[in-house]
Every structure is written in C-alpha cells, then in structure tokens.
Chains A and B, each alone.
Chain A
C-alpha cells in the first residue's frame, strides 16, 4: 500500500507540476519565458501563478469532497453540491452583492455553504441517527428552497444580476495571492482528516448494516465525513463560485484508474482535480484572448457529455 501510494503521489505531483508549468506559460498574451522583464515577470508571478495555484487548491478541494460525498451517500452520481452547499453559497454570495458587501464575498459564500449544510443535517437527524436517504431528500428540498430565494433576490437586484450570475458560473478571475491562505488550511485539514478516515470511507460504501459490525461507529463517522467534505466544498466555493461537474467526474476517472480504495482514491482525486481545474482554467483564459470564459463553463462543457456517458454505461450494466 505504501509503495503504491508513494508511486501515485510521485506521479501525481509531477503531473501537477507540469500542469502548473503549462498554466503559467500560457495566457491571453504570449510571453517568452527566456526573456523576462519586470512586466512579464509580474504577469507570471502575480497573475498566472497565484491563479494556477488557487485553481489547483480549488480542484483538489472539490474532487476530494466529491469522493467523500459519493462514499457517504453510497452513490456514484453524488457531487459536492448535491446536498445544499451550492445553494447555500449562492445565497450568501447573492446577499453580499445585494448589500454591497463584495469585500466579504468569500466569507458570505463560505458561511452560506456551511450554514445550509448544518441546517440540512439538523433537519434530517432522527433521534441521533442520520439516515442517508433522509439526508439526501432534505438536501434536495432545502437546496431547491434556497435556489428559489436566490432567484427571488436576482429579480430584486437587476443591476447586479450579471455579476451574480457570472459568479455563480464559477471563475478563478479573482485569484490573487491573498486568497491562498483562505483555502489552503481547509484543504490541508479537510483532506488530511478525510484521509485519516479513508478506511471508514471504504466501510461506509458497504452500507451501515454491514459497516457497523466490522467496527465502524457509523453515526460518528458520517458526521466527520460530512464536516470534512463540507469544509472542503465551502472553501472552494468561497474563492471561486460554483465550478460544476469537476467534483463528479474526477472521482469517477480516478476510481477507474486506481480503484475504489479511498487510501489511493482520495489522493488521486485531489491531484487529478487540481490538474483538471488548472488545465480547464488555462483554456478559459486563453481561448478568447481579452474575453475570458467562466471556468465553470469549460468544466461543464467537458463534464456534461461525460455525465451522459456515465448514465448510459450504467444503464447498460444493469
């Protein structure tokens, strides 16, 4: 296990380094990396590098949160937004725009995501237990409710509508060095915590009836996994808006590559998510020079066809 993990990490980190290198060397203007002056150095170090690193962090957060939610809900179609985090964050962000508090936008989105999740857990808990089905149902219902609030606020704030919608589509355009400390601690703590419980994630996928007799304190484990995955999602959403599909497809791709054991799957997905988002964002910045696409559009453009393929192949299997 240690040898496989070591090999995976080495390969993944090399791949990530390569993706970061690509991201730093490409952009809406072309720069000769051998002849740098003050301006081009500033573009590389103050614009492209923080953006690439932020993209890596966000990608890692979303993909590992996706892995955790898929294990927790025992559903390969779950993603980080399946239970309210996205609608909560959207509500927080829309409020911040509406009240003109754009400087606390990340905080508002983060609070919205965590708040929505806590509310859903509270709703779905029955006598100390958190049945997964009830949780999912509560998540979907609360999510729809919060989305309708967001839509309502959008109609109130017509002049801010375009900006809110742009934010909702997900973008790393706001990337800067000062945002890395906003997300890195959550990535380290959330991913580290989930990894420490990787075996518990494995057991959760068996279902509680099978997992408990194997020694898993299921209720406690579910809450910890939920906490870790929520922090990862909220941190990602707070700096980048709602980047979709990544949290769904990267766990799948990685499961195909390294198998379903979370001891390998979690680091693989984190690294894979980082690489995927760094590359998607490079496309978003460079496809139409001077006019960037929201990176969420790129991930969805690549992700939606994949999703359909997944549905199709599942149907064929059963």
Chain B
C-alpha cells in the first residue's frame, strides 16, 4: 500500500498554495510534514486525502488515481483526520467511532452487529474504550484526539493522514499521541502527519518533508532535513541543531527572526 503525490499544484483563487510538490508514503512509515504557518501543510494533506482536487498533478493510491475511486471505496483505504471538528450535536464517542464504518454500511445501517467489533477494536487500540458512552464535547483535548483517531482506525484502511493532531495538547498528551501514531506505523499503517514541533518530529518520524511557501525545501530522514541552513531557509530563523539521533533543535541565544514574509491563507 503506497500513496504517492506527484507534481501537485494547488491554489485558492489566484493565490498559489502548493507548487509542484511530490511526496511518497509507504507502508509502516510515519512521515512528518513540517513548515511555517501558511507553507501549505494542511493543503497538501487535503489534496493527498482527496478532499481537495489539485489544479495539476496526481495522487495515486495503489497506482490508481484518487479520482477513480468512489468516495466509499476511498474511505475504506484511506483515513483523514482534519485539524479540528466542531460537533453541533451531542454525539457519544462510540457513535462517533461508528461513523468510521459509514463506508462499509448500507442504507440506514440498522445491522450494526458486524461493525461493533471493529469499533471496539479501534477504541481499544487508542485506549478510549472507557469513554464509549461519554459525550464527545465533554472530552479533554487529548481524549478527543484519541477518539478521532479511533474513528479513522475504524475505517480499517492502511493510510492515515492527520492534520496537526498535537496542536492544543499539553506536552504529555503530545508525547502520548505520537507514541500511539508510531505504534500504528509499526503495525503496518502508512501515516502522514503535519506538525509544528520539530523535536517531536525528529523523535518519532521516519521521514520528514519540509515545506516553504508551497514548495518542498527538503525531504528525507530527520538528520538530513533538520539542518541549520534548511531550517533557516524554511523558517527564516537561525536555530541551533544538535546532531542525534535523535536530532534536537532549539532556539539559542543567537536565534533571531530574519526577513520573513507571512502568508495569509
């Protein structure tokens, strides 16, 4: 199972957001997507998930273009967890995870029996079994992220794309979540995750893609990507890097913000 995006370009109106980006995602791999705000991380994930159609370029899942899949078939192979979800209605966690089974259910899906086991398994895998009957809106940030990952797992695909799953989480929850993701990778999932925390990325990801203004600055193992020059190129700030493994990045006394144009999107 592999997901490959080649020469992806995308724009909102006349503003280009992605420019000929190519990425590849293999089974058992946890890929981190890094870059400053507005560099196109979220857009890249949406394009890879098939939520957004690229202006040019192609996304291939198992050598077939995403546009050739029916939505349901795609959902059985690939899951996407958006940055945040707002629930206007008080769904319970098990109901929410059950929605991950939508693509495999028919009509109103009254025969749930076959799916309950998958839901239980997904919740066990993410450690949220105890929350089954709690309302999603009552959960803490970390719990909510786990439930949403359980929903994605319930889709039983082999590819999972997550948009900034660690934002708004405290450091303990961030570590906890990254451990969960890398254990999913160990079980054979192909995961791509956009991150802000460079150290977290260095610690857990097998490969990194560094974006700036919709273009790939660097791509490869953490030690190749997280260099002082490349980080400065992407973030316009000179950071200190300590060779690993794992590589460690920190802001030293010499760090200062260079000429940096902030993009709006």
Contact = CB atoms under 8 A, between A and B. Distances in A.
A213 B102 contact: no
Given A76-B88, A205-B87, A1 B82 contact: no
B49 A213 contact: yes
Given A203-B99, A217-B71, A196 B87 contact: no
Chain B interface SS verdict (over half): loop
Contact of A199 (B75, B90, B108): B108
Which of under 10, 10 to 19, 20 to 34, or 35 or more describes the interface residues of A?
20 to 34
6 contacts: A196-B108, A206-B99, A212-B50, A212-B51, A260-B89, A263-B110
B105 A74 contact: no
Nearest to A77: B88
B110 A260 contact: no
A200 B75 CA distance: 14
Given A1-B112, A199-B108, A214 B102 contact: yes
Contacts of A76: 88-89
A255 B108 contact: no
Interface of B: 46, 49-51, 71-72, 74-76, 78-80, 82, 85-92, 95, 99-100, 102-103, 105, 107-112, 151, 155
Interface of A: 1-2, 5, 70-71, 74-76, 195-200, 202-203, 205-207, 209-210, 212-217, 255, 259-261, 263
Contacts of A216: 71, 102
Closest 6 CB pairs of A and B: A215-B75, A215-B103, A260-B89, A213-B80, A215-B72, A198-B108
Contacts of B95: 202, 259-261
A64 B89 CA distance: 16
Contacts of A5: 110
A210 B85 contact: yes
B79 to A, nearest CB: 6
Given A213-B51, A215-B76, A205 B102 contact: no
A213 B48 CA distance: 11
Contacts of A215: 71-72, 74-76, 102-103, 155
A74 B108 contact: no
Contacts of A207: 85-86
B52 to A, nearest CB: 10
Contacts of B99: 199, 202-203, 206, 214
Given A203-B99, A213-B49, A261 B91 contact: yes
Given A213-B79, A215-B71, A196 B107 contact: yes
B92 A259 contact: yes
A76 B89 CA distance: 8
A125 B220 CA distance: 43
B102 A199 contact: yes
A199 B109 contact: yes
B50 A213 contact: yes
Centre residue among B72, B100, B108 by max chain A CB count within 10 A: B108
Nearest to B89: A260
Nearest to A221: B71
Nearest to B95: A261
B207 to A, nearest CB: 23
